[in-house]
Structure 1
Amino acid sequence: MSDCYISYGDIKRKIRNLKKVELKIRFHVMDFSDSNNKNIWTKMNNANLIWDDFFDLHESTSKSVKYPLKRLAKMNKDELKNIISEFYYGVYYQFYKDNGMLDMSFYDPDILAQLGLPFDADISTIKKRFRELAKIYHPDAGGDEAKFIELLEQFESLHIK
């Protein structure tokens, strides 16, 4: 229990800072003063923040996010570090994707999650999981053809040879 953050306030500050870091990385926003807010929102007009998919700092909300505040409050520091690493991976993945700099070493974290894999899965882990799911969903083995086709499309979109 000593590893846990003491208050919601500590967690909220840390998570709010992650939002600012994402704005700096993806949109090069360095000034967060009120006079600059219009400029920030103009830059982000059609872009979705990774932060919005990960976090919600309201204690009671119906918004669907990966890590609501109540869940974060129950985690120890190591668990929070893992979530922050996952968040940074998502931010940089999106940054590289937006700027046309993706290479074969980055895999879409959303597809990896759909396959039941962590964001930092390597190629051998991905292939192993694909084989496991292919055995389950293959129509010749009595599996669901639609799910098998979806699995193939997901695997192909990862560009693994």
Structure 2
Amino acid sequence: MPCNWENVDEIKRKLRSLKKLEIKIRSANTFDYAEAAGRQPKIDLVWDRFFNINNAGNSKARYSLENILSMSKEDFKDVINEFFFNVYYKYYMENGIVNYSLYDPEILKWMGLPPHAGLDDIKKRFRELAKKYHPDTGGDSSKFIELMENYKKLVE
């Protein structure tokens, strides 16, 4: 059931605050002269891949303002949770913080798994997709190769 958002500007403000929060989190340990001069630091933001609050088409963004406005509050919470999982994953990787319980959220999404999927979930889904994409069973060989590469990245 779609949520009745009362004010589009309020949603835009909330999404912009998420962007500022990501910048704070990810640039906490670095001194950036651009930031000191009052400009935003030059980092590849997860926010840019998730949200597009302008009406202009942005193929990099998963969720447009229109998508968000049509979501239920529960769906929106799931999007925010996925966003923060991606932000902290990126932060850990950039800062050399090794956490073996975290898997690349982009690969998990490609496999159709949630960001919190465990090794057993990954193995089970891998077997399902391997049966689907294996060339001997009429599957797409390029998808199978991509699956193998992604699986290798997850389990190594």
Shorter-chain TM-score range: 0.7 to 0.9
Q: Which amino acid in the other structure matches residue 103 of structure 1?
A: N
Deviations 1:56-93 (A, max 9, x none): 111x2111211110111111221111111000000000
- Given the two structures, how large is their TM-score scaled by the length of structure 2? 0.86
% identical aligned pairs: 44
Does the alignment pair 1:20 with 2:24? no
Report if the CA contact (8 A) 1:104-1:159 is conserved.
no
Q: 2:155 aligns with which of 132, 152, 159?
A: 159
Stretches of structure 2 lacking an aligned partner (at least 5 in a row)? none
Query: 1:61 maps to which residue?
Result: 56
- Secondary structure of residue in 2 paired with 1:83: helix
Distance 1:124 1:61, change over 3 A: same
Query: 1:71 maps to which residue?
Result: 67
Does the alignment pair 1:38 with 2:33? no
Q: Which amino acid in the other structure matches residue 110 of structure 2?
A: Q
Compute the displacement of 1:124 (Å). 1.9
Distance 1:39 1:98, change over 3 A: farther
Q: CA RMSD in A?
A: 2.2
- Greater relative contact order (CA < 8 Å, ≥ 6 in sequence): 1
Distance 1:10 1:141, change over 3 A: same
Query: 2:5 maps to which residue?
Result: 5
Query: 1:84 maps to which residue?
Result: 80
Q: Which moved more, 1:136-145 or 1:14-23?
A: 136-145
Q: 2:122 aligns with which of 123, 126, 134?
A: 126
Q: Which amino acid in the other structure matches residue 140 of structure 1?
A: D
Compute the displacement of 1:101 (Å). 1.0
- Given the two structures, how large is their TM-score scaled by the length of structure 1? 0.84
Aligned positions, number? 151
Separation of aligned partners in 1, 2:2 and 2:96:
44
